[in-house]
Structure 1
Amino acid sequence: MTPKKSTPARRGRGRPQAFDREQALCAAMHLFWDRGYEGTSFDDLTAAMGISPSSFYNAFGSKKRLYQEATDAYLKAAHTWFSDVLHGATDTRTTFENLMVAAATEFTREDLPAGCMISVSGTQCAPAQARLRELMAQQRAQSEAAMAERLQQGVAEGDLPADTDVEGLAAFFGSLARGMALQARDGVSRQKLLEIGRIGMQAWPATH
């Protein structure tokens, strides 16, 4: 009896290589954070994310949509430390002291780009990208509003004088934090940022 020849198994149709979407988004976020929207090319993104152009468009749609998604991912991560400190069980002055310490620490982490993606991103954009600049400005305004709300709580609880300029004080600390973020981008040490925050606390209203 003649043995039957074995038939090679058929290969399935080619499919795009699978990738970890969350990991790719994280890589894009770090790149945008480090280089800004216009400083990050499409080729930079696909290389950092480890995906093909077709996979990029299938998963994220466009560079602009990816940037917005990366911003959301950054905000979700940053909101954790910012909100935890701002709503901690401490008096108002200690809360803002802790906030400055947390900012100095987060802005100089070795495992992340320096500074704050929201503070340093989108301040200069081409006219066609005005919507992205507005998005970043809105996020900065929301952070400042959250600080104002916490300061108002301090007034209500007697931690701050009743005549405290809550909006002005919130704007001051928002500006201080953004300045610290920019200093971090310039390579300033964590210790110096902590000192900047300590000096900034001298603007705290005196109790009567």
Structure 2
Amino acid sequence: MRVFWAKGYENTSMTDLIDAMGIASPSLYAAFGSKDGLFHEAVSLYAAEQGCDIWESLEREPGIEAAISAFLETTARTYSTEGQPQGCMIVLGARPGPQGESAVADDLRVRRCNSANLLRQRFARALEDGQLPPTCNPDSLGTYFASVQHGMSILARDGADYETLRTVARLGVQSLSAIINSK
């Protein structure tokens, strides 16, 4: 998982994987079938073990502004944790391409869409609860904040530290605050 996370699917060689796992090539193929199969398992492990706090923080706070603040703050902290690859494997794990061109890219695209849908659903609940002006579009807000989070992942991979990511998080919350206060 860490090799794919650090290098991405395309830049990870079979030698990298064999060395990291300490097994012979035939054993890798017997266990996973292919590099694609191993990548899929690695992404599933990543999704189960990494970044869970990010999505839990989105639900922990009843108010939408506090929920998004916690979401972006946890994203900043998680994406800049020392001792692990920086950023998000689901965002950075493979080059995006046309739909259907690559099973690996398609899997990550679906996972990113599912994450954006969690944000859209959270904004829809906030709209129903009267926490957002009636003119707000939950789909647009979910897409926007998914984009902010994806951008934070790229910044982290490019070397941005926690404070830089936290500044991005704060600006995101300020933009939401401006929307909320436009009621």
With structure 1 as the length reference, what TM-score do the two structures score? 0.81
- Secondary structure of the residue aligned to 1:153 is helix
Residue 11 of structure 2 is aligned to residue 39 of structure 1: yes
- Secondary structure of the residue aligned to 1:87 is helix
| Aligned CA distance change for structure 1 residues 48 and 86 (closer, same or farther; 3 Å) | same
Residue 150 of structure 2 is aligned to residue 178 of structure 1: yes
- 2:81 maps to which residue? 109
Residue 60 of structure 2 is aligned to residue 88 of structure 1: yes
Gaps of 5+ in 2: none
- 1:162 maps to which residue? 134
Q: CA deviation at 1:101?
A: 0.4
With structure 2 as the length reference, what TM-score do the two structures score? 0.91
Q: CA deviation at 1:129?
A: 5.8
Residue 180 of structure 2 is aligned to residue 206 of structure 1: yes
Q: CA deviation at 1:83?
A: 2.7
Q: CA deviation at 1:125?
A: 6.0
Return structure 1 stretches of 4+ with deviation > 3 angstroms. 124-129
Contact 1:38 1:125 in 2 (8 A): no
RMSD: 1.9
Distance in 1 (CA, whole Å) between partners of 2:113 and 2:92 is 14
1:11-50 correspondence runs (5 A):
29-50=1-22
Gaps of 5+ in 1: 1-28
1:159-182 CA-to-partner distances (Å, cap 9, x unmatched) read 111221111111110000000000
Residue 79 of structure 2 is aligned to residue 78 of structure 1: no
Q: Which range moved further: 178-187 or 89-98?
A: 89-98
Higher relative contact order structure (alpha carbons within 8 Å, sequence separation ≥ 6): 2
What is the count of residue pairs matched by the alignment?
Answer: 180
Q: CA deviation at 1:50?
A: 0.9
Contact 2:100 2:106 in 1 (8 A): no
Between structure 1 and structure 2, the one with the greater Rg is 1
Q: CA deviation at 1:111?
A: 2.5
- Identical-pair percentage: 29
